[in-house]
Amino acid sequence: MSRQSFNRVLLKLSGESLAGDQGYGIDPQTINTIAREIKEVVDMGVQLALVIGGGNIFRGLAASSKGMDRSSADYMGMLATVINSLAMQDALEKQGVSTRVQSAIAMQEVAEPYIRRRAMRHLEKGRVVIFGAGTGNPYFTTDTAASLRAMEINAQVILKGTKVDGVYTADPKKDPDAVKLDSLTYIDVLKKGLQVMDATAISLCMDNNLPIIVFDLTTEGNIKKVISGEEIGTIVQGA
């Protein structure tokens, strides 16, 4: 089955993808490269929304495993995603891309509140909408936030940008026999426990038949390729 091209997409980036080679924080060169690629896609007339993780600044789950209260740790993680969202907004606007940040936690001085209809209107006007602060609830990951927002804005696909070129049978860095999979079903991902997105996010996508494409963000031009329907990365969809 050949891939289709898309005109409304949700791009999910991990916080780590903004850190570049330094491994933490925000690397200006990396974020500017991603912003340039997003501009190319927006110039093609594609409506694009973004969800960015916060793992380059603070990871709630890791902190809670060391004894911190899980809810407090998750709220801190949500605030980290807002920091990343504001950094991405700045990088995009330097490229001349009109951008809005909508936060699931109210902070009107720096971001709009998340309002679904307003988000849709921004997209229709060609603005990139960045959804910050996850779902606004602890115990939910930014993967789940990406799935939820993608469905709310009627996106055709979730694009998950990672540091590998798709989903493998095992970790390709540790296992030389790992094989890249071109396509998977949601059930495969859940049964095999593959690291695509967490189980809540996958289940949401499965219930609403929303495809996910996992691709390599670090190769320049890949965002445009995957949106144009080129068969790169791994697609997760129904049977």
* pLDDT score of 158: 98
Q: Which DSSP string do the residues of the chain spell out, in sequence order?
A: -PPPP-SEEEEEE-THHHHGGGSSS--HHHHHHHHHHHHHHHHTT-EEEEEE--TTT--HHHHHHTTS-HHHHHHHHHHHHHHHHHHHHHHHHHTT--EEEEESS--TTTSEE--HHHHHHHHHTT-EEEEESTTSSTT--HHHHHHHHHHHTT-SEEEEEESSSSEESS-TTT-TT--EESEEEHHHHHHHT-SSS-HHHHHHHHHTT--EEEEETTSTTHHHHHHTT---SEEEE--
Structural domain 8-237, CATH architecture = 3-Layer(aba) Sandwich (3.40)
Distance of alpha carbon 143 from alpha carbon 163, whole angstroms: 16
Average pLDDT over residues 213-219: 94
Average pLDDT over residues 37-62: 95
* Whether the predicted pLDDT of 1 surpasses 50: no
Helix pair angle (142-152, 199-207), 10° resolution: 20
137-180 pLDDT, tens per residue?
999 999 999 999 999 999 999 999 998 899 998 888 888 898 99
β-strands 234-237, 212-216 pairing: antiparallel
* pLDDT score of 176: 87
Average pLDDT over residues 197-213: 96
Distance of alpha carbon 11 from alpha carbon 157, whole angstroms: 9
Q: Which DSSP string do the residues of 43-63 spell out, in sequence order?
A: HTT-EEEEEE--TTT--HHHH
| Of the candidate ranges 34-43, 187-196, 199-208, the one whose mean pLDDT is the lowest | 187-196
Let me know: does 93 contact 32? Beta carbons within 8 Å. no
Give the pLDDT band of residue 237 (cuts 50, 70, 90): very high
Looking at every residue in the chain, the average pLDDT score rounds to 94
In the chain, domain spans: 8-237
* pLDDT score of 2: 58
Distance of alpha carbon 210 from alpha carbon 238, whole angstroms: 8
- For tokens 């936060």, the residue is 103
77-132 pLDDT, tens per residue?
999 999 999 999 999 999 999 999 999 999 999 999 999 999 999 999 999 999 99
